[in-house]
Amino acid sequence: MEIRYPSHPQDVKRYTTDQLRKDFLIQEIFVPGETKMVYSHFDRIIAGGICPTAPLALEAGKEIAADFFLQRREIGIINIGAPGKVLVDGAEYPLKKTDGLYIGMGAQKVTFTSDDPSNPAKFYFNSTPAHKTYPTVKILVDNIVPAALGSISQSNERKIYKYIVPGGVESCQLVMGMTVLAPGNMWNSMPCHTHERRMEVYFYFDLAPESVVFHLMGEPGETRHVVIRNEEAIISPSWSIHSGVGTGNYTFIWGMAGENQKFDDMDHIPMSCLK
Ligand SMILES: O=C(O)C(=O)C[C@H](O)C(=O)CO
Ligand SMILES: [Zn+2]
């Protein structure tokens, strides 16, 4: 497990491109046959990917000093690859592309498989500390009614699919979902926001190999960009905006950890404040 320590916004003002990428960007998330885990000390979220070519178990690792990964944690999983299955203490959950799964605290044996190992599933996940067990729920993307946001005139027409949110699939603190940009639209989350009460991780996928997203981060009056490619993620501290513009179409998964689970609890930034 790779550990990422938090950064103070005053320090980040002086970061070079390399330092920004080292502290916030998560690359090589899907290596066939491997599990990637990044433990961020921002709200202790673990973000990563599992790409099974043979069954892969969710391992605790010494970093969390637990008997098993979900002993004191919950996890949200979205498959962005070919069909695969997650086995949770003997119960099987088949997930096709963009189907999700919430697994509550206490599940002991979690194993991931691909239906066709030569064309593997890609299970992206976010995991946060938990204090109580909520039911494990399979989340069929086809059953989510997305919220429509943005407009073609602002190049940000998109649909927000809420997977793990209060009133839907319940969790201790994890909030997770996916935003799909309509064809020809490039901007996400602009006008932008922060949420002092929560950190967030954005994971971009379905980008063409030659496309990039200019992800915007930093305090509203001190913005920076990080160039992100397909299937890479970026950690957004609570003090940072998180927004992006692509050179081509893309989709992204967002996951949040912290104080308040209300999706709409955002500190909206007037455009006039951006620098
Ligand atoms: O496109 C958007 O706007 C989003 O998806 C916003 C994220 O969901 C978010 O930042 C939630 O806090
Ligand atoms: Zn946000």
What CATH code is carried by the domain that includes residue 122?
2.60.120.10
- Give the pLDDT of residue 227: 98
In this structure, which amino acid lies at residue 30? Answer: F
Q: Is 193 known to sit in a ligand binding site? A: yes
Q: Is the pLDDT confidence value at 108 over 90?
A: yes
d(C-alpha 98, C-alpha 139), whole Å: 9
CA of 107 to the centre of ligand 1 (A): 29
Using one digit for the tens of pLDDT, what is the confidence trace for 245-258? 999 999 999 999 99
Q: Whose CA is nearest to atom 8 of ligand 1?
A: 254
CA of 253 to the centre of ligand 2 (A): 11
Q: How far is CA 127 from CA 207, 224, 242, in A?
A: 24, 27, 20
- Give the pLDDT of residue 30: 98
33: left (phi over 0), alpha (psi -120 to 50) or beta: left
d(C-alpha 210, C-alpha 248), whole Å: 9
Judged by DSSP in three states, 24 sits in helix
From the CA of 252, give the closest atom in ligand 1: 5
Q: Whose CA is nearest to atom 11 of ligand 1?
A: 263
Q: Is the pLDDT confidence value at 61 over 90?
A: no
Domain extent at residue 264: 2-273
d(C-alpha 147, C-alpha 151), whole Å: 13
CA of 263 to the centre of ligand 2 (A): 8
The secondary structure of residue 33, as a DSSP letter, is: T
- Give the pLDDT of residue 267: 97
Angle at 123 between CA 117 and CA 126, to 5 degrees: 160
> Exposure of 142 by Cβ count < 10 A (0-12 exposed, 13-18 middle, 19+ buried)?
exposed
CA of 269 to the centre of ligand 1 (A): 13
Tokens of 131: 């204090």
pTM greater than 0.80: yes
> Exposure of 156 by Cβ count < 10 A (0-12 exposed, 13-18 middle, 19+ buried)?
buried
Closest CA to 209 of 233, 231, 188: 231
From the CA of 179, give the closest atom in ligand 1: 5
Q: What is the mean pLDDT of the chain?
A: 98
Q: Are 182 and 241 in contact (CB under 8 A)?
A: no
For CA atoms 139, 145, 146, 147, the dihedral sign is negative
Q: Is 268 known to sit in a ligand binding site? A: no
Angle at 261 between CA 107 and CA 21, to 5 degrees: 85
189 C-beta closer than 6 A to ligand 1? yes
Q: Whose CA is nearest to atom 5 of ligand 1?
A: 179
From the CA of 158, give the closest atom in ligand 1: 1
β partners of residue 113: 85
d(C-alpha 174, C-alpha 129), whole Å: 9
Distance of CA 9 to the CA centre of its chain: 22
- Give the pLDDT of residue 90: 96
Q: Is the pLDDT confidence value at 75 over 90?
A: yes
Q: How far is CA 130 from CA 22, 26, 99, 156, 229, in A?
A: 28, 23, 23, 34, 31
Q: Is 41 known to sit in a ligand binding site? A: no
Q: To test the ligand 1 pocket, which listed residue (203, 240, 254, 263) has its Cβ within 8 A of the most ligand atoms?
A: 254
Using one digit for the tens of pLDDT, what is the confidence trace for 167-217? 999 999 999 999 999 999 999 999 999 999 999 999 999 999 999 999 999
From the CA of 188, give the closest atom in ligand 1: 1
Residues in CB range of 147: below 8 A, 6 or more apart? 159, 160, 162
**Stretch 141-150: mean pLDDT:** 98
Instruction: State ipTM.
Output: 0.99
Distance of CA 255 to the CA centre of its chain: 4
How many domains, the chain? Answer: 1
- Give the pLDDT of residue 46: 98
